[in-house]
Structure 1
Amino acid sequence: MNERYRKGWAALTALAPEKAQAVLDSLADIAPDMGRFIVEFGYGDIFTRPGLDPASRQVATIAALTALGNAAPQLRFHIEAGLVAGLSPEAVVEVLFVATVFAGFPAGLNAITVAREAFAAKGVKVPPVKIDGREADDRRRRGIEALAVTSKNAGQKVLDSLADIAPDFDGFILDFSYGDVISRPILTPAHKEIAMIAAATARGTMEPQLRVHIKAARAVGLTREQIVEVIIQMAVYAGFPAALNALSATRAAWREMGE
């Protein structure tokens, strides 16, 4: 046990006291070094960095694994770890809603199934969240207001940007993405942007949208260091190319902001 391993093992067992050893045991017969990489790099080098608290790191990881759409066992592990880190079950479900905006309904539905299994295993019951005062005819207003929080005066730009090819689609962005989902009050604005940056990074094909949400993250109070930490963590879950591309988008966003 070197210092990286000791530090990583302490972080992993704190998040998953009942499953940490099982992760290593599952690899012992074929790739024991993979288990060492997970502990030393994933947790010893990355997770224990001081830039983000454990709950925020789990928001990022849950969003990324949902967006990837091909990592159900790992998603279940991190949903359970998210509960240990202090996320409420309702907050976990909200992260899945946000990731659905970026990854689509099949990915979101699969993630909901995984969450149901994780909650059942932990004996957690999640009553459906009812948010009062969300009349159907207020969707556009809510969407424009939610967008204005992070992207001042951008509502009309969204409406105008697709007028020449898909005039209804810009309305879907405002009414559904922002009015129905992003405006929901369960997650903090910072956690919403962390989830969106993580999902967009993990998908690997969303450089324009990533720039938008990097700017939005700054608008809701995330520091440059926190944004970079989210992206560094994505190297563990989405790979180094995805993280490198996201860092390039971050640099471009800051340049556009004059930072």
Structure 2
Amino acid sequence: MAISETAQKNHEELFPNLKSTLKQTDPEFIEIFDNFNFDEVLKYQNLDLKLRMKITLASLIAMQCVNEYKAMLNGALNVGVTPVEVKEIVYQAVPYVGLGKVFDFLHATNNVFEERKIKLPIAGQSTTTPENRLEEGQKTVRRIAGDAVDKMQENLPENEKHFATFLADNCFGDYYTRKGLDDKTRELLTFSMLISMGGADPQVQGHIRNNVNVGNDKDVLLSAVTVLLPFIGYPRSLTAMNLLNKVLPEK
């Protein structure tokens, strides 16, 4: 087996002049993986390169793959994903995978930026204040998720209502209202993180609906699963496909 011309071309676009040590120590594996990830998989998806890199970074954060994240971050920056977009991907991960997992990626991102002479801190992207974050969060969540959080607020017991408030003012008010990424991208990132983590099937189904609400149809979501399959494996990919078919049945 040899690495196909298409796989080599796509790999070179992300990592020009890279001297891969694994190509020397594990040549058979690199042939298998590169032909699959940089050629075969790409025939069954419709996302542009920058968006593919964004969801890959989000997925790697969710799975705690810091070394692969740093490699892919360099590839993403090489093809035009901006430092602002990268930071927003990292920040977007906090409400979904938790700071415990994201902390190392804040530092890993800063390390890569410093190596590439990207000035820190990146320009701020917040659009809310402590006074209006709840109101703006409610507007945002209603636009993306309809009345789901309002229903939580109405139906939860009194001692649990703060979770609905947190979803509105923190998850959506602090994060979704930020500039740097649009609603479609943020929802696709969230979907990608949730399917990569596993164990969040109800939330995956909710964000499938959210994705449709903001304009990401089933083809887009299937493309995301396809692109992520080499990184997240078959069990989580097939689970994601089953959840997609449950929420958005094939006609």
TM-score normalised per structure 1: 0.89
Matches of 2:156 and 2:109, distance apart in 1: 35
- 2:52 pairs with 1:53: no
1:161, CA displacement in angstroms? 5.0
Matches of 2:33 and 2:118, distance apart in 1: 28
Matches of 2:38 and 2:136, distance apart in 1: 39
Matches of 1:74 and 1:149, distance apart in 2: 34
- 2:114 pairs with 1:120: yes
Q: Give 2:222's match in structure 1, choosing from 197, 204, 228.
A: 228
1:47, CA displacement in angstroms? 3.8
1:129, CA displacement in angstroms? 3.0
1:103, CA displacement in angstroms? 1.0
- 2:15 pairs with 1:16: yes
C-alpha contact 1:51 1:226 (8 A) present in aligned 2: yes
C-alpha contact 1:55 1:82 (8 A) present in aligned 2: yes
For 1:34, the aligned partner's letter is F
Q: State the match for 2:5 in structure 1.
A: 6
C-alpha contact 1:67 1:100 (8 A) present in aligned 2: no
Q: State the match for 1:150 in structure 2.
A: 144
1:27, CA displacement in angstroms? 4.8
Range with bigger deviation, 89-98 or 164-173: 164-173
Q: State the match for 1:97 in structure 2.
A: 91
C-alpha contact 2:45 2:226 (8 A) present in aligned 1: no
Matches of 1:127 and 1:143, distance apart in 2: 25
1:162, CA displacement in angstroms? 3.7
Matches of 1:81 and 1:162, distance apart in 2: 44
Matches of 1:162 and 1:38, distance apart in 2: 47
- 2:236 pairs with 1:242: yes
TM-score normalised per structure 2: 0.92
Q: State the match for 1:186 in structure 2.
A: 180
Structure 1: state its 5+ residue gaps: none
Q: State the match for 2:22 in structure 1.
A: 26
Relative to 1, partners in 2 of residues 1:205 and 1:164: Cα closer, same or farther, differing over 3 Å? Answer: farther
Range with bigger deviation, 149-158 or 92-101: 149-158
For 1:196, the aligned partner's letter is T
Relative to 1, partners in 2 of residues 1:83 and 1:75: Cα closer, same or farther, differing over 3 Å? Answer: same
Query: Superposition RMSD on alpha carbons, in Å?
Result: 2.0
C-alpha contact 2:149 2:167 (8 A) present in aligned 1: no
1:78, CA displacement in angstroms? 1.3
1:153, CA displacement in angstroms? 2.3
For 1:145, the aligned partner's letter is K
Secondary structure at the counterpart of residue 130 of structure 1: coil
C-alpha contact 1:143 1:180 (8 A) present in aligned 2: yes
Matches of 2:76 and 2:242, distance apart in 1: 29
Structure 2: state its 5+ residue gaps: none
Matches of 2:152 and 2:88, distance apart in 1: 24
1:182-214 per-position Cα deviation (integer Å, ceiling 9, x unaligned)? 121210111101111110010011111111111
For 1:139, the aligned partner's letter is R
Secondary structure at the counterpart of residue 4 of structure 2: helix
- 2:29 pairs with 1:38: no
> Deviation above 6 Å: which 4+ runs of structure 1?
none
Secondary structure at the counterpart of residue 132 of structure 2: helix
C-alpha contact 2:229 2:237 (8 A) present in aligned 1: yes
Matches of 1:132 and 1:204, distance apart in 2: 29
1:15, CA displacement in angstroms? 0.7
Matches of 2:71 and 2:155, distance apart in 1: 40
Matches of 2:202 and 2:123, distance apart in 1: 32
For 2:14, the aligned partner's letter is L
Matches of 2:134 and 2:228, distance apart in 1: 33
Range with bigger deviation, 128-137 or 105-114: 128-137
